[in-house]
Structure 1
Amino acid sequence: MEWIQRLIIALPVLLIAITFHELAHGYVAYRLGDPTAKNQGRLTLNPIKHLDALGTLTLIVTQIIGWAKPVPVDYRYFANPKRDMMWVALAGPAANFTLACVFAVIFHAMKDMQVSADAMVYVHPIFLMVQMGVIINLALGIFNLIPIPPLDGGRILVSLLPDRQAYQVARIEPYGFFIILALLFFGGTQKVIWPLIQTFRLLLGV
């Protein structure tokens, strides 16, 4: 029962986090000259357009790992493909960190509110949802910055490395998902990601 209640609170902010993450990728790609995401209807705040059924189900079951439908990007439209792919990759985590700050502002505003005991019944779940919004967006932003393709951090790393080294890292992409699973299984990501989340939560006062 507690798991269901937690899911009900987390699901709306999770949808917001995923939607803005993918929308940011597509929007930056569009501004850099690639109309692919726009032509496929991905520049939208409709979360259904961004959800991957299997990735969503996996996230609900495991509460650790999941994925959205990747925004299509055609680097051939870019004036400088290597540099512009970096900006596209950065856009997703940047959107999540921005949302985390927005939720933190709402959190502090709600914390200072004076409400009656009757109103608290309705306000408290929203308060928990806002707090979860900070945590989920920090987690999504930090997780995606792990420098393993196909995560955004991996694409950023490929963009920053010299061509020869970038090619070697890019070759990891077909196996990246399995590497990430192994890191999760052995607790590697939790040992890095959770302390970072806690650090940023402390900075945001949440």
Structure 2
Amino acid sequence: MTIHEFFHGWTANRCGDPTARLQGRLTLNPLAHIDIMGALCFVFAGFGWGKPVPINPNNFRTPRRDNMIVSFAGPASNFISAFLFGMVFQLLRNIPLPSNLSTMIFNLLITMIVVNLSLAFFNMIPIFPLDGSHILEGLLPYRLSVRYKEIERYGPFILLGLIVMGNFTGVSILSLVLGPPIKYFLKLFSGLS
């Protein structure tokens, strides 16, 4: 979450919005990005969230375009992180290491790839408050984007419903949708078949 939120703030700053920087949120310190309620939900319910970096689209030079770019920066940073962890994984596979150490390192690297791919693809879902909703809003013609924005208040409930429904029914729609691209890129980045 730290890298994801940092790149939202960094990109917003580059697009003309200094809000995150002025509030001390343009940092890689994970403590600055922890949301207490999100952390508690993660511990007790298996899902959580970080504290979103504050962004003021009124400061952007080109608000619709820049909001899309800033929204895309978070998932892109997760995707790039997954790729980099995959490169490290593939490099270390060719180096002889003690088996107990290599197992621990490889499991950690695979976990980091999966976590970052999961964050990247999950955040691209076009349901508010996820990044994908802001990207879709910017891609829609203006009249449709206004109508889309009107229903964003229902987004958190839809998202929560999808998460809870998967926990109660044992059939996770999110896993069905996100699982295939995550598995594909895990194999691609790690070199595992």
Whether TM exceeds 0.5 here: the answer is: yes
Aligned equivalent of 2:41:
58
Give me the whole-angstrom Cα distance separating, in 2, the residues matched to 1:104 and 1:110: 10
Which residue type is aligned with residue 89 of structure 2?
F
Aligned equivalent of 2:174:
189
Aligned equivalent of 1:165:
144
Q: Is the 8 A contact 1:26 1:43 kept in 2?
A: yes
Aligned equivalent of 2:90:
108
The alpha carbon displacement at 1:146 in A equals 0.2
Q: Is the 8 A contact 1:149 1:169 kept in 2?
A: no
Give me the whole-angstrom Cα distance separating, in 1, the residues matched to 2:81 and 2:43: 21
Which residue type is aligned with residue 159 of structure 1?
G
Give me the whole-angstrom Cα distance separating, in 2, the residues matched to 1:45 and 1:123: 28
- Structure 1's consecutive aligned runs of 4 or more residues displaced over 4 angstroms after TM superposition are none
Aligned equivalent of 2:153:
174
Q: Does 1:134 align with 2:113?
A: yes
Q: Does 1:200 align with 2:179?
A: no
Task: Number of aligned residue pairs: give it.
Answer: 185
The alpha carbon displacement at 1:174 in A equals 2.0
Structure 1: gaps spanning 5 or more residues: 1-17
The alpha carbon displacement at 1:145 in A equals 0.2
Give me the whole-angstrom Cα distance separating, in 2, the residues matched to 1:146 and 1:159: 14
Aligned equivalent of 2:62:
80
Give me the whole-angstrom Cα distance separating, in 2, the residues matched to 1:81 and 1:41: 23
Aligned equivalent of 1:25:
8
Aligned equivalent of 2:20:
37
What are the Cα deviations for residues 7-47 of structure 1, in whole angstroms up to 9, with x where unaligned?
A: xxxxxxxxxxx100000000000001111000111111100
What are the Cα deviations for residues 77-128 of structure 1, in whole angstroms up to 9, with x where unaligned?
A: 1111111000000000000000000000111112222123xxx333422221
Give me the whole-angstrom Cα distance separating, in 2, the residues matched to 1:87 and 1:104: 25
Structure 2: gaps spanning 5 or more residues: 167-171
The alpha carbon displacement at 1:202 in A equals 2.0
Give me the whole-angstrom Cα distance separating, in 1, the residues matched to 2:54 and 2:3: 15
Aligned equivalent of 1:91:
73
Aligned equivalent of 1:122:
101
What is the CA RMSD across the aligned residues, in angstroms?
A: 1.3
Q: TM-score, normalised by structure 2?
A: 0.91
